[in-house]
Amino acid sequence: MDVKDFYFDLPQELIAQDPLEDRSASRLLVLDKNTGEMSHRGFRDILTLLKKGDCLVINDTKVIPARLFGVKEGTEAKIEVLLLKRKENDIWEVLVKPGKKAKPGTVIRFGDGLLVGKVIDVVEEGNRLIQFSYEGIFEEILDQLGQMPLPPYITHQLKDKDRYQTVYAKHEGSAAAPTAGLHFTKELLKQIEEMGVTIAHVTLHVGLGTFRPVKVENVQDHHMHSEFYVVEEEEAEKINRTKREGGRVICVGTTSCRTLESATGEDGILKAGSGWTDIFIYPGYRFKILDGLITNFHLPESTLVMLVSALAGREHILAAYEEAIRERYRFFSFGDAMFII
């Protein structure tokens, strides 16, 4: 399977640079995964598309302000650090720019020394391990010094940090937002629950792999980065009960989808627990538990386009994307949404 099979030509001006004032005011393209039939709706029409007895699965990870700007001790050279994974004892795996200025032993000062990092190792793909030292609480210092790690295709400055956060974000640990969830307001979620739809929470901390392009020609040769997930017992039971009673399991975002598909056995039963997943879903994959997906519009040749193609078929997805481009939908993180049912 060639990566070029997932290419489409996207006009630059359709990449959404800013979030809408009203989260739920985005457009919604509804795609029937079996027939390829499409309809154009508003996101709030989700209330007419969900049914009593369905289970909506949301990822309650919280994005940390993971982008830090510091100076190299001794030379005052500017260095940018992106926190990826917390290891132990204040050691983080990070991405550093420029990498050549961050050899092991390098000391980087942030916020006039409020936070100090020492490079202790170079690991996979040139990432660094940095040990941080500080006085006080790390999260509070990070909130003070850090910026939201917006994707590289968003060039505008974000005025309000909370707009790159879902309204149900709870567990800190992501380097990127589960962006399909950005369309929901608390009011909309309340209305959905009042309809008799169960809302289940899972957690998957989104890593840098979200932005990493597929660099191999053959899709099967691509390796996904591992990400940490948690499925609580009570939430697993909500989802399993929905399946037993004939309801649909609808995931909000590819991260919720990958969490469920990672934690579900071949018997179709979701198991509670936590762990690391590097699941890669592309056409040919057989879904074990998911019935529908609410998602944004993704980058050409990305693993996310491959995932939605596995669910609805490559031809249906590319036709839907063509239609979205024709209709001037807004693309990517702050863009419009798609409901695959």
pLDDT at 261 over 90: yes
Q: Which residues pair with 2 in a beta bridge?
A: 218
Copy the structure tokens of residue 118. 């020492």
pLDDT digits 0-9 by tens, 8-48: 999 999 999 999 999 999 999 999 999 999 999 999 999 99
Q: Which residues pair with 292 in a beta bridge?
A: 250
What band does 89 get if pLDDT is binned at 50, 70 and 90?
confident
Q: Which residues pair with 119 in a beta bridge?
A: 130
pLDDT at 124 over 90: no
pLDDT at 210: 64
pLDDT at 100 over 90: no
Calculate the average pLDDT of the chain: 95
pLDDT digits 0-9 by tens, 209-246: 766 778 899 999 998 888 999 999 999 999 999 999 99
What band does 281 get if pLDDT is binned at 50, 70 and 90?
very high
Copy the structure tokens of residue 198. 């169960």
pLDDT digits 0-9 by tens, 133-154: 999 999 999 999 999 988 888 9
Nearest-Å Rg of the Cα atoms of the chain is: 20
Phi and psi dihedrals of 231, rounded to 5? -125, 115
What band does 159 get if pLDDT is binned at 50, 70 and 90?
confident
Q: What share of the chain in percent tops pLDDT 90? A: 87
- Whether omega for the bond prior to residue 65 falls within 30 degrees of 0, making it cis, is no
pLDDT at 192: 98
What band does 296 get if pLDDT is binned at 50, 70 and 90?
very high
CA distance 135 to 141: 9
